Structure 1
C-alpha cells in the first residue's frame, strides 16, 4: 500500500514564525536548502521522514502532530458555510477548499467569521423590531461562538493549564472518597478560603463567593462530583491568574464578553484536569478500556465530566483515543461540542436526526451504541446516553440533556464497547452532519433538500420525501 504523503506547509510556516526564523535559518537547522523549505511551505513538496525527524528533535514536536491533517475541521466548516445559496453557482470545488484549508487557514477562518457575521445580520433583519432594541454590534459573531471556536481550534487541549492542574492533583494525593474534603482543606490552608456546603438562597444557584469574608458557598444539593468541580474552578482563579491572563491575551478576543466567557471556560478546563489529572486518567482509561462508568467511579466524576475529559486527551506524545463529544438539549441543539476526529458537528443548524444521540432521551439510564458511517466514508463507534440535572425540590429546575461520545471504528477494539465488533461484517447506519449539506439522496429522515443540489418534484409519484435530489 502506498505511503500517504504529508503536506504541512501551513504548520511549518507557523512554526518558523513562532520561533522568528527566516527560511534560510530554518533550513540551516534542518540541514536542507532554503529553496526546499520554500517548496515545503508552499506545499509543492511533502515532508520526508528525515525532515520530520529533524523537526521533532530540533523543536520538540510530536510526529503525530505533523502527520495529522488538522485542516479537516476547517474544510468541514467551509463546506457547510459555502452550501448557503448566497454563494450561488460559483462555489469552489472540494479540491480548492482543501487547498485553502491547508495553505491559508487564517484566510479560511476570516471567511467563516465574515459568513457568520452575514448570517447573524440576516437573522436580525428578519425581526427588525427586536433588532432595534439590541446592541448594534451584535450582528457579528457572538461571544459564545468566538470562545467555542477558540477551544475548537485548540483541539480542546490547553497544555500549560492541564499540567498545572496535574501538579496540584499530585499534591492533593490519591483518589479516595475524602478527596472533596481534602480539596476544601487545601483551600483553607493555602488561600485562607472557607468552603461551605449549604442550602442556596436560590434553587438554581450553584456557587456564591463572598469576597469580604473569603467564603465560597457551594450548593449542598449538588452531586459531590459537581461540588468538587465548582471548588476547583474557583481555585483556578486564585492560583492561576497569571497563566489565565497570558492565555486570554494570546487568544486576542474581540470583546470583553468573549474574554470573560473564555476565562470561565479555562477555569472549568482546569477543574476537569484537576479532577481527572492527565497521566493518571489516561492510564486508567487504557487499563479499563475506556469504560466511562468505571472511570466515573474511579475519579468521582459524572459521565458527562468523564466524556468531556476523554475528548481533551491530546497531549503531544501522550495521546489517548481521539474522541468526539457533544451535549444536546431536548430541542436538538448542540450546547457543547468537540471533535478530535474527522467528524465535525454542524455550526449553523441542527444535528442529523439519524444520529443515536436523539434516541438517548427515550432510553434514559442506558448507554446505547451505534455504528455509523458519514457521507465521506468514515465509520464511527458512537455511544449516547441521557441524564437529568435537578436543582431544588418540587418547584426546582430540571434540565435534560443527551450526550454523545465516539471514535473512528479503527479504534473500536481499544474500547470495551467495541470488543464484539467485526467492522468487515458489521452494518453501519448512514448519518450526516446536517440535512442542508448532506449529500445522501435516499434518506427518509431528510428535513430539507441540500442547498447545493437541485430537486425534482414528480406530481405523479410520492415517496416519504416528496422530492427527488438530482
Structure 2
C-alpha cells in the first residue's frame, strides 16, 4: 500500500451507519451534502475516500463530530482489541489488524459487546476464589482488573475525547460575566455564590475538617474548604460548587444521556462533569487556547497566568478539541511511586492499557528522583509510533509535619509530529533524537531482552532454560 493511499480517509461503513441511523436514503443524504448519489455510493463502498469538504458538510448538516470518522480513533480501538486478544484464554486464535479494522467498520456495536464480555470475564477471574495467575501480579499494589464505576466513567470520558462542548460554552459565558482573571477569581466566585445562591464559602482550620479538603453543608448552605488547599485548589473547589448551582441542568442532562441508569457511575460522572466545568471556568477555552499557542504550551507560565496548578493546566490541555480551535492532541497519565495509575486522559490516540500499570522505562517514573523538575523524553512504542512526553511530580495538597504528603507523577505527551509546537522541544533535533523503546506495560509488551521486565508477555509462551541467564529475567517465544 502506498503512503499516499494510506493517508486517504475511507469511512464508508461509518457513513452508511450514520445514514441509516438518520433514516435517510442515499439520494437524500447526497442532496444534503451537495454530491451525487452515485458518488456517495462509491464513498460508502470505500471506493472513494472522504474529502475534508464533505467532512465539514457532514458536521454542519447533521450536527455530528467529524472526529468520529478519524482513523486515529480506529487505531485506538484496534489496540484495545489486540490487548483483549492477547489474553491466554484466546491463545492460538490469530486475528490480524486488517480483520480488526473490518470488524470496527462493519460492526462497531459488536466491539462494545466484546469489551463488556471481556471486562465481565476479567472481573469474575479477579475474585479470590477464581484468581488467575495469568493476570494476577502479587508484587504490585494494583491487582487484577475488576470492573467498577471509575472504569466506566473513564470509558465515557475517553469516548468523548475528554471534550464536552456544552460545558465549555456555559463556563465561557460565566467567565466573561465574572471577568476576573487568575488568582483573583476565587474572590469573585465566593461573592457570586453568596449573592446569587446564598452559599457562604469559608476557609476552615484543619482540625475542624479532619480528613476532608472540601465539605458542603446543604442545610446551612456553607462550603468549607480546608486551609491546606493551595490558592489554585481553593479556586477550583469554589468553581466546582458553582457548577452545580449555575450549570446543574446541563450536568444532569449530559449525565442522563451518557449514563441513563442511576448508578454510582452516573454519580461519579456528575462529579467529573462538575470538575470539568470548574477547570473550564478557571481557564476559559478561547483565552486559554490562545495563550497556550502563544506560550508554546508552557505549563508553568499558563498556571501563573490563569491561577492554576501544574496538574490543573496539564489536565486542561487534554480538553482542547473544539473543531474550530484545536490544541495539540495531548494524552495525560498520573501515577504514584508504586506505578499505580490514577488518571488516564487522551484527546489523541495514545494506546493506554486498561488492565495494568505503565512501562518503567518511561521517564514519568524517574521524576520521583527529581521532585519538581521537568523531564522530557522521546519514546517509541512497539508499533513504531513515536511520542514526545513531559513529566513532573505534583502533589495534591499541603500536609502538616509528620503526615505523609501524597506525591504523584504526571506524564503529558503528544505525537512527535506535534512536538515542535511545545516550548519543551525547542532546540531539540526531533528527527534525529534517539527514542527510548517502551511498551504499554510488561504484560502486553513483546520486546525481548528488556532489563526492566517485571513479567513475561501474556501473548507469548514462557521459555525456561536453566543453562542461560539473560539481561531479562524472562525469556519467551
TM-score by length of 2: 0.90
Aligned CA distance change for structure 1 residues 51 and 82 (closer, same or farther; 3 Å): same
Counterpart in the other structure of 1:449: 456
Aligned to 1:98: 101
The residue that corresponds to 1:136 in the other structure is: none
1:259 is aligned to 2:261? no
Q: Provide the residue aligned with 2:233 in structure 1.
A: 226
How many equivalent pairs are there?
A: 460
Partners of 2:293 and 2:48 in 1: how far apart?
37
Match of 1:77 in 2: 80
SS in 1 for 2:325: coil
The answer as to whether partners of 1:324 and 1:341 remain within 8 angstroms in 2 is: yes
CA distance in 2 between partners of 1:90 and 1:437 (Å): 16
Per-residue CA distance 1:416-458 (angstroms, 9 max, x = gap): 1001121232111001111222132232212222222234333
Alignment of 1:111 with 2:100, yes or no, is: no
SS at match of 1:383: strand
Report if the CA contact (8 A) 2:236-2:278 is conserved. Answer: yes
1:207, 1:230 within 8 Å by CA — same for their partners in 2?
yes
Note the C-alpha offset of 1:254: 5.0
**CA offsets 1:191-224 (integer angstroms, 9 cap, x no match):** 1221111124233211121222211111122101
Q: Residues 42-441 of structure 1 correspond to what in structure 2 (within 5 A)?
A: 43=46, 45-48=48-51, 51-52=54-55, 54-56=57-59, 58-59=61-62, 66-126=69-129, 141-200=147-206, 201-254=208-261, 256-390=263-397, 392-394=399-401, 396=403, 398-441=405-448
In the other structure, the counterpart of 2:4 is: 2
Tell me the secondary structure at the aligned position of residue 240 of structure 1. helix
Whole-angstrom distance in 2 between the partners of 1:160 and 1:2: 37
Show CA shifts across 1:43-66 (max 9, x none): 454324553454355346676764
Q: The residue matched to 1:70 in structure 2 has which SS?
A: helix
1:27 pairs with one of 3, 27, 30 = 30
What CA deviation, in whole Å up to 9, does each residue of 1:20-58 have, x standing for no partner? Answer: 534442122124455654553454543245534543553
Distance 1:377 1:394 in 2: 47
Contact 2:183 2:232 in 1 (8 A): no
Cα distance in 2 between the residues matched to 1:2 and 1:127: 50
Q: In structure 1, what is the Cα distance between the partners aligned to 2:250 and 2:228?
A: 32
Q: Which moved more, 1:31-40 or 1:233-242?
A: 31-40
Equivalent residue number for residue 141 of structure 2: none
User: Could you tell me whether the CA contact under 8 Å between 1:157 and 1:314 is conserved in 2?
Assistant: yes
Shift of the alpha carbon at 1:376?
Answer: 1.2
Cα deviation, residue 251, structure 1: 1.0
SS at match of 1:355: coil
Q: Structure 1 stretch 431-440 or stretch 345-354: which is displaced more?
A: 431-440
Superposed CA deviations along residues 320-339 of structure 1, whole A, max 9, x for unmatched, are 01111011122211110012
1:223-277 CA-partner distances (Å, limit 9, x unpaired):
0111111111111111122211211121135551111010001100101111111
Cα distance in 2 for residues equivalent to 1:447 and 1:109: 31
Aligned equivalents of 2:399, 2:470: Cα separation in 1: 49
Question: Matched residues in 2 for 1:174 and 1:18: separation?
Answer: 44
Contact 1:42 1:103 in 2 (8 A): no
Contact between 1:10 and 1:105, CA under 8 Å: does it hold in 2?
A: no
Provide the aligned C-alpha RMSD in A.
2.4
Specify whether residues 170 and 440 from structure 1 end up closer, same or farther in structure 2 by C-alpha distance, changes over 3 A only. same
- Check whether the contact 1:61–1:316 (CA below 8 A) recurs between aligned residues: no
Partner SS for 2:72: coil
What is the alpha-carbon distance in structure 1 between the residues aligned to residue 33 and residue 182 of structure 2? 49
**Gaps in structure 1 of 5+ consecutive residues:** 129-138
Whole-Å separation in 1 of the counterparts to 2:262 and 2:47: 39
Q: Is the 8 A contact 2:163 2:321 kept in 1?
A: yes
Which moved further from structure 2: 47-56 or 377-386? 47-56
Paired with 1:445 and 1:413, the residues of 2 have a C-alpha distance of 30
Report the CA distance between 1:72 and its aligned residue.
2.1
Separation in 1, partners of 2:457, 2:146: 26
Task: Measure how far apart 1:413 and its partner are.
Answer: 1.3
CA distance in 2, matches of 1:18, 1:223: 49
Q: Secondary structure at the match of 1:448?
A: coil
